Amino acid sequence: MNMNQLIEKQHIFFESGATRDLSFRKQQLKKLKSMLVNHQDELCKAVYSDLRKPAREVVSTELITIVDEINFHLKNLDSWSKPQNAAANLLTLPSKNEVRRVPFGVALIIGTWNYPVSQLILPVAGAISGGNCMVLKPSELAAATSSTLTRLIGDTFEPDYISIIEGGVEISQTLLDLPFNKIFFTGSSRVGKIVMGKAARQLIPVTLELGGKSPAIVHKDADIQSSAKRIMWGKCLNAGQICISPDFVLVHEERKDEFIEHAKSAVEELYGKNPKTSPDYGRIINQHHYQRVLKLLEGTHIITGGETDAGEKYIEPTIVDGVGWEHPVMQEEIFGPVLPVVTYSGDKEPASLLRYKPSPLALYIFSRDDSFIENTITQIPHGGTCINDVIMHIANPNIPFGGTGNSGIGQYHGKYSFEAFTRPHAVMRRKTWPDPSVRYPPYDSKISLLNKLFMK
Ligand code: NAD
C-alpha cells in the first residue's frame, strides 16, 4: 500500500464514524498503554542503542510520562467530550446552544529523536482521545527506536486507524503534501517553518512544538546550592538534548562564583568524578550534532569539564563563561551538555536583556522575591515558567505545555492534548416560532428599535 492509498483508507475509516465512539477511543488508549507496559524492555534497549540513555531514565522520563498521560485521558475523556451548554444572547433568543469537541479527521504526527518514544507517542494519546485516525513519522536519527515502534504500532493497531511510516526528510516532505486534516509537529524552529509553509498550502491546522534557548535566571536571593544542583541535573539529563533544557544561566553577579562552585559539586555528586564512566550519563545522538556542539565551545572560557571523545560522541558536562550575547553559544539552541554562565546586576536587567530575544519554550527563575519573579515572567515572552526548578512543569498533565513565537504554536498534555486534536463545533437549535419581523426587510422603521436595543 503506498502513502496515498494509506491516507485514503484512513479517511474512509474515519468517515465510518468508528472513532467517534467513546468506548472505541478508550479501548484504543488501553491498547496503547499495554503496548508500552508489555514492551518496556525492548523500548529501553532501543533508546539505549540510539542515545545510550539508561533504562531507568527511559522509564522515568518517557514511558511513565506517557502511561500517566493515557491514564489521565481514560479518567477524563467522558467529561472532556461532553457538549458544553452555552447561553443565548439577546439577538438569538430563544435558542439552545452548545459547543461540541469534534475530531479533525486524519492527523499527521511527526516526532524527534531526543525523546524518541515520548515525543512521538505522547501526542498519540491526544489524537486517539480526540477521535482521529493518524499517521506517525518517527525521527530517522533514532533509528533503533523508530524500527521498534514501527513493529509495535503495526502489531497493535489496524493500519487504516494508526500507521507509522519510517523515513527522513524526503518521506516527511511527501507526507506533508498529503491531505491530512491536522499536523502535529515536534522539532526545530527551522523545520517548523517548513512544516507550517506546507500546511498553509492546504490550510491544514498545525500544532508546532519547537525549541529555543530556555534561560535559567538565578537571582541574588536564590538558594544557590539547590539552584545549581537542579540546573545541572536539567542540563545533563539526556546529555542536554532536551527542548526545555536550561540552555544558559543568567546569574546575579554577586552569586556567580558561588553558583559555579555548587554546579561543579553537583555534577560530581550526580555522575562521579568521571561522568564518562557513569551508567547514568548519555551520549550525543550522532557525529553531526557532536561536532556542532564542539564548535559552540570555540572561543569560550571553559571553567569545568570540556573532555570529549569523538568515538563515543561523549561530551563531559561543561560550564563556560567569557561569552557575550553575540557569541554563537548564546545565539543558537545548544542542545548538548554545555552551560554558558552570564551575569547581570540590576533587578530589571534579566527582563530587559531577554524580552526581545526569540521566545524560549521555558523560563526558569530561581528566587524568593515575588515582585522580581512576576516582573520577569510578564516581561519575557516564553512558553511556560518553572520557578525554583527546571523541567518538572512538563510532568503535570493539568497544565499546558507549548511555546510561543519561535518556540511554537499551540499546546498539549492532558486536556490540552484532547483540545489540540479536536475543534470546538457550535450547534444552535431554534424553534420555528416565535419569528419576530425585526430581522427581515423592509428595515426602515426597525432601525430605531435596533439602535435603542443594541447601540448603547
Ligand atoms: P528536526 O526539526 O531536525 O526534525 C524533526 C522531524 O522533522 C524529524 O522527524 C525529521 O525527519 C523531520 N524533518 C527534518 N527536516 C525536515 C524537512 N526539511 N522537511 C520536513 N521534515 C523534516 O528536529 P530534531 O533535530 O529531530 O529535534 C531537535 C529539535 O526539536 C530541537 O530544536 C528541540 O528543541 C526540538 N524539540 C522540541 C520539543 C517540544 O516538545 N517542544 C521536544 C523535543 C525536541
Annotated catalytic residues are 209, 243
The partner residues of 308 in beta bridges, in order of sequence, read 315
HSE, side-chain direction, 13 A CA sphere, residue 85: 4
- Looking only at the bridges linking them, the beta strands covering 106-110 and 246-252 are unpaired
pLDDT surpasses 90 at 80: yes
State the closest ligand 1 atom to the C-alpha of 407, by its place in the atom list counted from 1.
Answer: 41
Q: How many CB atoms lie within 10 A of CB 128?
A: 31
Report whether residue 50 contacts ligand 1, using a CB cutoff of 6 Å. no
Percent of the chain with pLDDT over 90: 94
Closest listed residue to residue 119, CA positions, set 51, 202, 194, 215: 51
Q: Which of 157-161, 351-355, 447-451 has the lowest mean pLDDT?
A: 447-451
Kindly give the distance from the C-alpha atom of residue 210 to the centroid of ligand 1, in angstroms, as a whole number: 8
Judge contact between 119 and 111, C-beta under 8 A.
yes
**Cis peptide bond prior to 442, omega within 30° of 0:** yes
Give the DSSP letter of residue 399. Answer: S
Strands (E) located in 105-205: 106-110, 133-137, 162-164, 182-186
**Dihedral over Cα of 305, 310, 311, 312: its sign:** positive
User: Whose grid coordinates read 564542539?
Assistant: 294
> What average pLDDT does the segment 34-50 reach?
97
Angle at 331 between CA 261 and CA 109, to 5 degrees: 105
Which alpha helices (DSSP H) does 272-407 contain, by range?
Answer: 287-297, 349-354, 370-379
Predicted confidence band of residue 148 (pLDDT cuts 50, 70, 90):
very high
CB 214 within 8 A of CB 246: yes
Predicted confidence (pLDDT) at residue 1 exceeds the cutoff of 80: no
Residues 252, 246: Cα–Cα separation, whole Å: 16
Confidence band (pLDDT; 50, 70, 90) for 110? very high
Q: Note the pLDDT of residue 442.
A: 87
Separation of CA 91 from chain center: 41
Higher pLDDT, 453 or 55: 55
Q: Which residue stretches of 380-425 are H helix?
A: 415-420
pLDDT tier at 40 (50, 70, 90 boundaries)? very high
- Position 456 scores a pLDDT of 86
Average pLDDT, stretch 118-128?
97
Grid cell listed for 312 = 563515543
The DSSP string of 145-169 is HHHHHHHHHHHHS-TTTEEE----H
Q: CB-side exposure of 218: number of CA atoms within 13 Å?
A: 32
> pLDDT tier at 436 (50, 70, 90 boundaries)?
confident
Query: pLDDT, tens digit, for every residue of 299-338?
Result: 999 999 999 999 999 999 999 999 999 999 999 999 999 9
- Residue whose Cα lies nearest atom 4 of ligand 1: it is 187
At 94, which amino acid appears? P
Instruction: List the Cα angle 55/57/60 in 5-degree steps.
Output: 110
| Nearest Cα to Cα of residue 421 among 135, 67, 132, 198 | 132
Decide whether any atom of ligand 1 lies within 6 Å of the 177 Cβ. no
pLDDT for 454 equals 85
- Distance (Å, rounded) from C-alpha 301 to C-alpha 103? 52
Q: How far is the CA of 304 from the centre of ligand 1 (A)?
A: 30
